[in-house]
Amino acid sequence: MTDTGDKRLFLTFDDGPSALYTPQLLDLLAFHDVKATFFVLGEASIQNPRIIERMLSEGHELGVHAYDHRKSVWRMSREEFGRDLDDTLAGIAAASGGEYPPPRFYRPPWGRTRAFSHDEVAMRGLTLVKWDVMAQDWQASMSARRIEARLRRRIFPGAVICLHDGRGRVPQAPARTIESLRHLLPDLLWEGYRFETL
């Protein structure tokens, strides 16, 4: 995305849903009437269908991330990558009961792509989306305060913000992300920012 000149922000979350953390995040977003886009894992979606249903029923958007996020596209053949996309889409459809439109967006794990991955994504009617602002909220060294400070420094109107609500090397990382948003969201809303899905 580019600077739109107005005060829209696109809050996105990768690697969920998490049975522990995503409901807490959804509670916080609901309290502030903030909508977000969740780039989910197929495997986690199948394991947490009620959370997927809640995301959709509360007006959030689902995007495709990966089936289990264990393998980079750099280590996949075209056929493996295509299967990963299909399995993820099938997992999301199963978790949502097939009652909602299929996802429209795809975010590559670690932001990595290959020439064939662009083709495979487009063949499934998906648009590839990366991010403008990353707070490295998955890192062990990142406290809630540091995440908040990084976001404050980097946000600009029209920015796509990438955070995480599941998985990761540090199990408690999503708790710190949620805590940073408890402080940041009210301030951004007061400053006139509004949050939209992609």
| pLDDT of amino acid 168 | 66
**Residue pair 3/158 in contact by the 8 Å Cβ criterion:** yes
Lookup result for tokens 């060294």? 141
Kindly indicate the confidence band of residue 74, based on its pLDDT and cuts at 50, 70 and 90.
Answer: confident
* Count of other CB atoms within 10 angstroms of residue 164: 24
Per the rule left: phi > 0, alpha: psi between -120 and 50, beta: everything else, 91 is alpha
Domain 8-195 top-level CATH class: alpha beta
Kindly indicate the confidence band of residue 98, based on its pLDDT and cuts at 50, 70 and 90.
Answer: confident
Q: What is the mean pLDDT of the chain?
A: 93
Per the rule left: phi > 0, alpha: psi between -120 and 50, beta: everything else, 192 is left
Is-catalytic flag, 3?
A: no
* Position 4 pLDDT exceeds 80: no
Tens digit of each residue's pLDDT (9 = 90 or more) over 187-196: 999 999 999 9
| pLDDT of amino acid 140 | 87
Catalytic residue among 32, 164, 165, 183: 164
161 or 3, greater pLDDT: 161
Cβ-based burial of 152 (10 A; exposed 0-12, middle 13-18, buried ≥19) = middle
The pair of structure tokens assigned to 34 is 């903030």
Q: Which amino acid is at 159?
A: A
pTM of the model: 0.94
Is-catalytic flag, 14?
A: yes
**Residue pair 160/36 in contact by the 8 Å Cβ criterion:** no
Tens digit of each residue's pLDDT (9 = 90 or more) over 138-156: 988 899 999 999 999 999 9
Catalytic residue among 14, 15, 84, 165: 14
Contacts of 50 (CB under 8 A, 6+ apart): none
